[in-house]
């Protein structure tokens, strides 16, 4: 990652500059590098007893900026990098979760051999609907599943956010909950 310093960066030792560049190189791995080398602009200024550190990076034509004030210049830079990393991760997860293609929601599938008695054949044939298991739903924690039960449902089937396993949370008649793990 290419780092461009502006402002007063005279108080930054060469070893500290290498540490900043190493941390920004880690951020460069999070950025998509298909369009070439990424560029980070670091602006440093001293205001009385505080140092202002501002780092800006372009991410798919969106400006991400981390700003931090601290008496120590390296601590201000480190805080700005942390804030920039949080913004970058939040933006990437938001785009990843919202830009996924959704398939057909439900498609009727006829039974291959109807195994129903003759009197049941007169009634309407039963259908099986295949449901996309991941369509528009994100993994949940147990607390989020408990909140989903507050709208009057008796159970919630969800994918756990920690280990991506399927779980069922049941509301018992005594007010407690049963958790079934698959």
Per-residue model confidence (pLDDT) at position 33: 57
pLDDT band per the 50, 70, 90 thresholds, residue 112: very low
Give the pLDDT band (50/70/90) at residue 81.
very high
Mean pLDDT of 92-112: 63
Rounded Cα distance between 91 and 175, Å, is 39
Rounded to 10 deg, the angle between the 73-98 and 14-30 helix axes is: 0
Domains of the chain, earliest start first: 2-98 (3.30.160.100), 133-182 (3.30.505.50)
| pLDDT averaged over every residue in the chain | 79
The residue-averaged pLDDT of 125-137 equals 68
Question: What are the residues whose beta carbons fall under 8 Å from the beta carbon of 178, sequence distance 6 or more?
Answer: 169, 170, 172
**Span 159-172, average pLDDT:** 86
User: Taking residues 7-33, what's their average pLDDT?
Assistant: 79
By percentage, how much of the chain surpasses pLDDT 90? 12
Q: 144-159 pLDDT, tens per residue?
A: 888 888 877 888 888 8
Neighbours of 77 (CB within 10 A): 27
Region 156-170: what's the mean pLDDT?
Answer: 86
Please, what is the Cα angle at 135 between 156 and 125, to 5 degrees? 80
How confident is the model over 21-67, as pLDDT tens digits? 888 888 887 776 566 677 888 898 988 889 899 999 887 777 889 99
């Amino acid at each position: 990652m290419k780092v461009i310093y502006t402002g007063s960066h005279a108080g930054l030792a060469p070893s500290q500059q290498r540490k900043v560049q190493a941390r920004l190189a880690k951020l460069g791995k999070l950025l998509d590098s298909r369009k070439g080398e990424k560029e980070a602009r670091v602006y440093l200024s001293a205001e009385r007893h505080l140092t202002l550190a501002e780092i800006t990076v372009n991410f798919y034509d969106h400006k991400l900026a981390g700003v931090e004030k601290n008496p120590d210049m390296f601590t201000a830079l480190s805080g700005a990098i942390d804030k920039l990393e949080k913004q970058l991760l939040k933006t990437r997860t938001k785009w990843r979760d919202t830009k996924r293609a959704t398939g057909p929601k439900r498609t009727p599938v006829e039974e291959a051999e109807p195994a129903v008695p003759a009197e049941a054949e007169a009634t309407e044939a039963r259908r099986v609907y295949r449901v996309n298991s991941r369509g528009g739903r994100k993994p949940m924690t147990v607390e989020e599943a408990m909140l989903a039960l507050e709208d009057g449902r008796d159970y919630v089937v969800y994918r756990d956010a920690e280990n991506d396993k399927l779980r069922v949370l049941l509301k018992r008649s005594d007010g407690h909950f049963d958790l079934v793990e698959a």
